[in-house]
Protein backbone atom coordinates (compact mmCIF):
# COMPACT_ATOMS: atom_id res chain seq x y z
CA UNK A 1 0.00 0.00 0.00
CA UNK A 2 1.09 3.62 -0.40
CA UNK A 3 -0.01 7.22 0.09
CA UNK A 4 -2.76 6.95 -2.51
CA UNK A 5 -4.36 3.92 -0.83
CA UNK A 6 -4.06 1.53 -3.81
CA UNK A 7 -1.33 -1.06 -4.15
CA UNK A 8 1.64 -0.23 -6.35
CA UNK A 9 0.93 -1.63 -9.81
CA UNK A 10 3.88 -0.30 -11.78
CA UNK A 11 7.19 1.13 -10.74
CA UNK A 12 9.78 2.37 -13.21
CA UNK A 13 13.12 3.37 -11.77
CA UNK A 14 15.92 5.09 -13.67
CA UNK A 15 14.87 3.85 -17.09
CA UNK A 16 17.32 4.41 -19.91
CA UNK A 17 16.87 3.51 -23.58
CA UNK A 18 19.67 3.65 -26.12
CA UNK A 19 19.57 2.76 -29.79
CA UNK A 20 22.63 1.20 -31.38
CA UNK A 21 23.44 1.94 -34.99
CA UNK A 22 26.09 0.70 -37.37
CA UNK A 23 26.81 2.96 -40.35
CA UNK A 24 28.05 1.91 -43.81
CA UNK A 25 31.68 1.97 -42.74
CA UNK A 26 30.75 -0.39 -39.87
CA UNK A 27 31.27 2.38 -37.31
CA UNK A 28 29.09 1.76 -34.26
CA UNK A 29 27.32 4.58 -32.45
CA UNK A 30 24.33 5.05 -30.19
CA UNK A 31 21.65 7.58 -29.36
CA UNK A 32 20.13 7.87 -25.93
CA UNK A 33 16.40 8.55 -26.23
CA UNK A 34 15.22 8.08 -22.63
CA UNK A 35 17.29 8.63 -19.50
CA UNK A 36 16.84 8.69 -15.70
CA UNK A 37 13.08 8.22 -15.94
CA UNK A 38 11.21 7.17 -12.80
CA UNK A 39 7.47 6.88 -12.29
CA UNK A 40 4.88 4.75 -10.53
CA UNK A 41 1.19 3.97 -10.95
CA UNK A 42 -1.06 2.58 -8.22
CA UNK A 43 -4.15 0.42 -8.54
CA UNK A 44 -7.17 2.69 -8.99
CA UNK A 45 -5.10 5.43 -10.54
CA UNK A 46 -4.84 7.08 -13.95
CA UNK A 47 -1.44 8.63 -14.57
CA UNK A 48 -1.15 10.69 -17.73
CA UNK A 49 2.21 10.95 -19.45
CA UNK A 50 2.22 14.10 -21.54
CA UNK A 51 4.91 15.47 -23.81
CA UNK A 52 5.60 16.85 -27.26
CA UNK A 53 6.02 14.64 -30.30
CA UNK A 54 9.34 12.83 -30.11
CA UNK A 55 9.73 13.30 -26.35
CA UNK A 56 9.78 9.51 -25.82
CA UNK A 57 6.19 8.65 -24.80
CA UNK A 58 5.77 5.60 -27.05
CA UNK A 59 9.26 4.34 -26.23
CA UNK A 60 8.35 4.36 -22.52
CA UNK A 61 5.22 2.30 -23.27
CA UNK A 62 7.13 -0.11 -25.47
CA UNK A 63 9.87 -0.56 -22.84
CA UNK A 64 7.27 -1.54 -20.22
CA UNK A 65 5.73 -4.03 -22.65
CA UNK A 66 9.07 -5.34 -23.88
CA UNK A 67 8.34 -4.59 -27.53
CA UNK A 68 11.24 -2.29 -28.41
CA UNK A 69 13.22 -3.11 -31.57
CA UNK A 70 16.28 -5.36 -31.25
CA UNK A 71 18.79 -2.50 -31.50
CA UNK A 72 17.36 -0.86 -28.36
CA UNK A 73 19.25 -1.35 -25.12
CA UNK A 74 17.18 -0.88 -21.98
CA UNK A 75 18.55 -0.38 -18.48
CA UNK A 76 17.00 0.56 -15.16
CA UNK A 77 14.32 -1.29 -13.23
CA UNK A 78 10.68 -1.98 -13.99
CA UNK A 79 8.49 -3.66 -11.37
CA UNK A 80 4.95 -4.86 -12.01
CA UNK A 81 2.84 -5.82 -8.96
CA UNK A 82 5.96 -5.74 -6.82
CA UNK A 83 8.04 -8.11 -8.94
CA UNK A 84 10.79 -7.34 -11.43
CA UNK A 85 9.52 -7.26 -15.00
CA UNK A 86 12.08 -9.41 -16.77
CA UNK A 87 11.83 -9.96 -20.52
CA UNK A 88 10.49 -13.52 -19.95
CA UNK A 89 7.80 -12.16 -17.64
CA UNK A 90 6.98 -9.37 -20.11
CA UNK A 91 6.40 -11.97 -22.80
CA UNK A 92 4.22 -14.06 -20.49
CA UNK A 93 1.91 -11.29 -19.26
CA UNK A 94 1.77 -9.03 -22.34
CA UNK A 95 -1.84 -8.76 -23.50
CA UNK A 96 -2.91 -10.57 -20.31
CA UNK A 97 -1.98 -8.65 -17.14
CA UNK A 98 -0.63 -5.67 -19.06
CA UNK A 99 -2.61 -4.49 -22.07
CA UNK A 100 -1.55 -1.96 -24.66
CA UNK A 101 -4.02 0.29 -26.38
CA UNK A 102 -1.64 1.12 -29.22
CA UNK A 103 -1.08 4.42 -30.96
CA UNK A 104 -1.22 2.86 -34.39
CA UNK A 105 -4.06 0.92 -35.94
CA UNK A 106 -1.30 -1.06 -37.68
CA UNK A 107 -1.24 -3.17 -34.49
CA UNK A 108 -4.45 -4.87 -35.69
CA UNK A 109 -4.05 -7.96 -37.88
CA UNK A 110 -5.12 -6.80 -41.37
CA UNK A 111 -6.29 -10.26 -42.40
CA UNK A 112 -8.49 -11.10 -39.44
CA UNK A 113 -12.08 -10.02 -38.68
CA UNK A 114 -11.94 -7.42 -35.93
CA UNK A 115 -14.50 -9.33 -33.82
CA UNK A 116 -12.20 -12.38 -33.84
CA UNK A 117 -9.29 -10.20 -32.74
CA UNK A 118 -11.26 -8.84 -29.79
CA UNK A 119 -12.47 -12.35 -28.82
CA UNK A 120 -8.91 -13.69 -28.93
CA UNK A 121 -7.90 -11.10 -26.35
CA UNK A 122 -10.50 -12.33 -23.82
CA UNK A 123 -8.94 -14.21 -20.88
CA UNK A 124 -11.88 -14.84 -18.54
CA UNK A 125 -15.53 -15.51 -19.36
CA UNK A 126 -17.18 -16.19 -22.70
CA UNK A 127 -15.19 -14.46 -25.48
CA UNK A 128 -18.19 -13.86 -27.77
CA UNK A 129 -20.23 -12.45 -24.92
CA UNK A 130 -17.37 -10.16 -23.86
CA UNK A 131 -16.77 -8.94 -27.42
CA UNK A 132 -20.47 -8.22 -28.01
CA UNK A 133 -20.74 -6.33 -24.70
CA UNK A 134 -17.64 -4.28 -25.52
CA UNK A 135 -19.06 -3.37 -28.96
CA UNK A 136 -22.36 -2.31 -27.35
CA UNK A 137 -20.50 -0.16 -24.82
CA UNK A 138 -18.62 1.61 -27.59
CA UNK A 139 -21.61 1.84 -29.91
CA UNK A 140 -20.06 -0.34 -32.59
CA UNK A 141 -22.73 -2.13 -34.64
CA UNK A 142 -22.64 -5.91 -34.18
CA UNK A 143 -22.01 -6.35 -37.94
CA UNK A 144 -18.63 -4.61 -37.49
CA UNK A 145 -17.34 -7.82 -35.85
CA UNK A 146 -17.16 -9.32 -39.36
CA UNK A 147 -15.26 -6.39 -40.82
CA UNK A 148 -11.55 -6.26 -41.59
CA UNK A 149 -9.40 -3.44 -40.15
CA UNK A 150 -9.18 -1.61 -43.52
CA UNK A 151 -12.98 -1.17 -43.49
CA UNK A 152 -12.93 0.80 -40.21
CA UNK A 153 -12.84 4.57 -39.87
CA UNK A 154 -10.13 5.95 -37.59
CA UNK A 155 -12.60 6.41 -34.74
CA UNK A 156 -14.01 2.89 -35.10
CA UNK A 157 -10.51 1.41 -35.16
CA UNK A 158 -9.71 3.19 -31.87
CA UNK A 159 -12.87 1.73 -30.34
CA UNK A 160 -11.86 -1.76 -31.48
CA UNK A 161 -8.42 -1.29 -29.93
CA UNK A 162 -9.95 -0.13 -26.64
CA UNK A 163 -12.38 -3.11 -26.74
CA UNK A 164 -9.45 -5.50 -27.19
CA UNK A 165 -7.77 -4.14 -24.08
CA UNK A 166 -10.91 -4.08 -21.92
CA UNK A 167 -11.91 -7.72 -22.60
CA UNK A 168 -8.39 -8.89 -21.65
CA UNK A 169 -9.04 -8.51 -17.91
CA UNK A 170 -5.65 -6.79 -17.59
CA UNK A 171 -4.56 -4.95 -14.43
CA UNK A 172 -2.40 -2.35 -16.13
CA UNK A 173 -3.57 -0.54 -19.24
CA UNK A 174 -1.18 1.49 -21.30
CA UNK A 175 -3.06 3.71 -23.71
CA UNK A 176 -0.84 5.38 -26.31
CA UNK A 177 -2.62 8.43 -27.77
CA UNK A 178 -6.05 6.78 -27.58
CA UNK A 179 -8.13 9.81 -28.55
CA UNK A 180 -7.08 11.10 -32.00
CA UNK A 181 -9.75 10.44 -34.61
CA UNK A 182 -12.50 10.37 -32.00
CA UNK A 183 -15.22 13.02 -31.98
CA UNK A 184 -15.84 14.88 -28.72
CA UNK A 185 -18.45 12.47 -27.38
CA UNK A 186 -16.44 9.35 -28.29
CA UNK A 187 -13.43 10.92 -26.63
CA UNK A 188 -15.33 11.63 -23.39
CA UNK A 189 -16.63 8.07 -23.53
CA UNK A 190 -13.16 6.59 -24.03
CA UNK A 191 -11.78 8.61 -21.13
CA UNK A 192 -14.72 7.53 -18.95
CA UNK A 193 -13.97 3.92 -19.83
CA UNK A 194 -10.45 4.41 -18.47
CA UNK A 195 -11.95 5.81 -15.27
CA UNK A 196 -14.06 2.65 -14.98
CA UNK A 197 -11.00 0.45 -15.48
CA UNK A 198 -9.20 2.36 -12.72
CA UNK A 199 -12.21 2.37 -10.39
CA UNK A 200 -12.39 -1.39 -10.89
CA UNK A 201 -8.88 -1.72 -9.41
CA UNK A 202 -6.88 -1.34 -12.61
CA UNK A 203 -4.08 1.12 -13.24
CA UNK A 204 -4.01 3.24 -16.37
CA UNK A 205 -1.10 4.97 -18.06
CA UNK A 206 -2.61 7.49 -20.44
CA UNK A 207 -0.06 8.68 -22.97
CA UNK A 208 -1.09 11.82 -24.80
CA UNK A 209 0.06 15.17 -26.09
CA UNK A 210 -3.44 16.46 -25.26
CA UNK A 211 -3.02 18.05 -21.85
CA UNK A 212 -6.63 19.24 -21.73
CA UNK A 213 -7.81 15.61 -22.12
CA UNK A 214 -5.32 14.45 -19.50
CA UNK A 215 -6.57 17.07 -17.06
CA UNK A 216 -10.18 15.92 -17.39
CA UNK A 217 -9.44 12.38 -16.23
CA UNK A 218 -5.97 11.78 -14.74
CA UNK A 219 -5.15 11.65 -11.05
CA UNK A 220 -1.53 12.55 -11.62
CA UNK A 221 0.25 13.97 -14.63
CA UNK A 222 3.87 13.27 -15.59
CA UNK A 223 5.52 15.63 -18.03
CA UNK A 224 8.09 14.23 -20.42
CA UNK A 225 10.63 16.58 -21.97
CA UNK A 226 13.66 15.59 -24.04
CA UNK A 227 13.62 11.97 -22.95
CA UNK A 228 13.07 12.34 -19.24
CA UNK A 229 10.37 13.45 -16.82
CA UNK A 230 10.59 17.03 -15.63
CA UNK A 231 7.62 16.81 -13.27
CA UNK A 232 4.96 14.54 -11.82
CA UNK A 233 2.13 16.46 -10.19
CA UNK A 234 -1.33 15.73 -8.84
CA UNK A 235 -4.17 17.01 -11.03
CA UNK A 236 -5.07 19.80 -8.61
CA UNK A 237 -1.71 21.52 -9.16
CA UNK A 238 -2.81 22.42 -12.71
CA UNK A 239 -5.67 24.55 -11.40
CA UNK A 240 -5.62 28.32 -11.82
CA UNK A 241 -2.38 29.61 -13.31
CA UNK A 242 -0.48 26.55 -12.16
CA UNK A 243 1.05 28.24 -9.09
CA UNK A 244 1.14 24.77 -7.53
CA UNK A 245 3.33 23.37 -10.32
CA UNK A 246 7.03 22.77 -9.73
CA UNK A 247 8.75 22.99 -13.14
CA UNK A 248 8.87 26.05 -15.46
CA UNK A 249 8.25 23.81 -18.51
CA UNK A 250 5.03 22.41 -17.01
CA UNK A 251 3.92 25.96 -16.22
CA UNK A 252 4.70 27.02 -19.80
CA UNK A 253 2.70 24.07 -21.18
CA UNK A 254 -0.26 25.03 -19.02
CA UNK A 255 -0.10 28.66 -20.10
CA UNK A 256 -0.01 27.51 -23.74
CA UNK A 257 -3.42 25.82 -23.51
CA UNK A 258 -6.17 27.50 -25.53
CA UNK A 259 -8.40 27.42 -22.45
CA UNK A 260 -5.76 29.32 -20.45
CA UNK A 261 -3.51 32.12 -21.66
CA UNK A 262 -2.68 30.57 -25.05
CA UNK A 263 0.96 31.68 -24.82
CA UNK A 264 3.39 29.90 -27.16
CA UNK A 265 5.73 27.41 -25.48
CA UNK A 266 9.40 27.59 -26.44
CA UNK A 267 10.35 24.22 -27.85
CA UNK A 268 13.57 22.38 -27.20
CA UNK A 269 14.92 19.53 -29.23
CA UNK A 270 15.59 16.07 -27.96
CA UNK A 271 19.36 16.01 -27.68
CA UNK A 272 21.70 13.13 -28.26
CA UNK A 273 23.90 11.70 -25.53
CA UNK A 274 26.93 13.76 -26.65
CA UNK A 275 25.10 16.90 -25.69
CA UNK A 276 23.94 16.40 -22.17
CA UNK A 277 25.41 18.98 -19.92
CA UNK A 278 23.03 20.78 -17.67
CA UNK A 279 19.26 20.97 -17.70
CA UNK A 280 17.71 20.20 -21.13
CA UNK A 281 15.26 23.06 -20.59
CA UNK A 282 17.89 25.66 -19.63
CA UNK A 283 18.07 27.31 -23.06
CA UNK A 284 14.33 28.16 -22.92
CA UNK A 285 13.97 28.74 -19.19
CA UNK A 286 13.51 32.17 -17.65
CA UNK A 287 14.90 30.89 -14.35
CA UNK A 288 18.08 29.36 -15.80
CA UNK A 289 21.36 30.12 -14.02
CA UNK A 290 24.97 29.03 -14.58
CA UNK A 291 24.35 25.89 -12.50
CA UNK A 292 21.38 24.91 -14.70
CA UNK A 293 23.58 25.09 -17.80
CA UNK A 294 26.32 22.98 -16.24
CA UNK A 295 24.64 20.36 -14.06
CA UNK A 296 21.70 18.05 -14.70
CA UNK A 297 19.19 18.72 -11.92
CA UNK A 298 18.31 15.63 -9.87
CA UNK A 299 14.80 14.13 -9.79
CA UNK A 300 13.49 14.91 -6.34
CA UNK A 301 10.36 14.75 -4.22
CA UNK A 302 8.76 18.18 -3.79
CA UNK A 303 5.59 18.34 -1.69
CA UNK A 304 3.20 15.66 -3.04
CA UNK A 305 4.95 15.45 -6.41
CA UNK A 306 8.37 15.25 -8.01
CA UNK A 307 10.39 17.49 -10.29
CA UNK A 308 13.77 17.90 -11.93
CA UNK A 309 14.64 21.57 -11.36
CA UNK A 310 17.09 23.34 -9.05
CA UNK A 311 14.62 26.18 -8.54
CA UNK A 312 11.50 24.15 -7.85
CA UNK A 313 9.91 24.49 -4.41
N1 LIG B 1 13.83 2.57 -33.57
C2 LIG B 1 14.37 3.76 -33.26
N3 LIG B 1 15.68 4.03 -33.49
C4 LIG B 1 16.21 5.22 -33.16
N5 LIG B 1 15.54 6.23 -32.59
C6 LIG B 1 14.23 6.02 -32.33
C7 LIG B 1 13.56 4.79 -32.64
N8 LIG B 1 12.26 4.89 -32.27
C9 LIG B 1 12.12 6.13 -31.75
N10 LIG B 1 13.29 6.81 -31.79
C11 LIG B 1 13.51 8.20 -31.36
O12 LIG B 1 13.13 8.33 -30.00
C13 LIG B 1 12.45 9.56 -29.77
C14 LIG B 1 11.14 9.33 -29.07
O15 LIG B 1 10.25 8.61 -29.90
P16 LIG B 1 8.76 8.26 -29.45
O17 LIG B 1 8.12 7.50 -30.55
O18 LIG B 1 8.77 7.61 -28.10
O19 LIG B 1 8.11 9.70 -29.31
P20 LIG B 1 6.62 10.09 -28.86
O21 LIG B 1 6.75 10.97 -27.67
O22 LIG B 1 5.80 8.86 -28.70
O23 LIG B 1 6.13 10.97 -30.10
P24 LIG B 1 4.67 11.05 -30.82
O25 LIG B 1 3.88 11.99 -29.96
O26 LIG B 1 5.00 11.63 -32.15
O27 LIG B 1 4.10 9.66 -30.87
C28 LIG B 1 12.28 10.22 -31.14
O29 LIG B 1 13.21 11.26 -31.22
C30 LIG B 1 12.58 9.13 -32.12
O31 LIG B 1 13.24 9.63 -33.25
NI1 LIG C 1 4.20 8.11 -29.70
Whether 275 shows a pLDDT value over 60: the answer reads no
- Domain over 8-97+170-307 is classified CATH 3.40.50.300: yes
Residues with CB under 6 A from ligand 1: 19, 31, 33, 51, 53-59, 69, 103, 209, 270
Q: How many Å lie between the centroid of ligand 2 and the Cα of residue 291?
A: 32
Q: Residues 216-227: pLDDT tens digits? A: 999 999 999 999
- Residue closest by Cα to atom 28 of ligand 1: 54
Residue 158 — very low, low, confident or very high, per pLDDT cuts 50/70/90? Answer: confident
Helix (H, G, I), strand (E, B) or coil at 122: coil
Does the pLDDT at position 2 exceed 90? Answer: no
pLDDT band for 5, please (50, 70, 90 cuts): low
Measured in whole angstroms, the distance separating CA 106 from the mean position of its chain's CA atoms is 18
What residue segments make up the domains of the chain, in order of their start? 8-97+170-307
* pLDDT tens, residue by residue, 24-82: 888 888 899 999 999 999 999 999 999 999 999 999 999 999 999 999 999 999 999 99
Q: How large is the ipTM? A: 0.98
Task: Write the pLDDT tens digit of every residue in 70-116.
Answer: 999 999 999 999 999 999 999 999 988 999 988 777 889 999 999 99
Amino acid sequence: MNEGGGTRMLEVHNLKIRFHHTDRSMQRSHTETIHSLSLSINAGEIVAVVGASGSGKSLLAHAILGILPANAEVSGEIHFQGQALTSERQKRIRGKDIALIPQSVAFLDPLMHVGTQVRQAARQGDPTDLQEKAFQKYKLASAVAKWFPFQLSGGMARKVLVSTATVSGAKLFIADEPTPGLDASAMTETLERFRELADGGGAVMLITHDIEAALTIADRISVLHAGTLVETAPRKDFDGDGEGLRHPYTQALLRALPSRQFTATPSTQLRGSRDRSGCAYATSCILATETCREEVPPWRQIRDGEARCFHAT
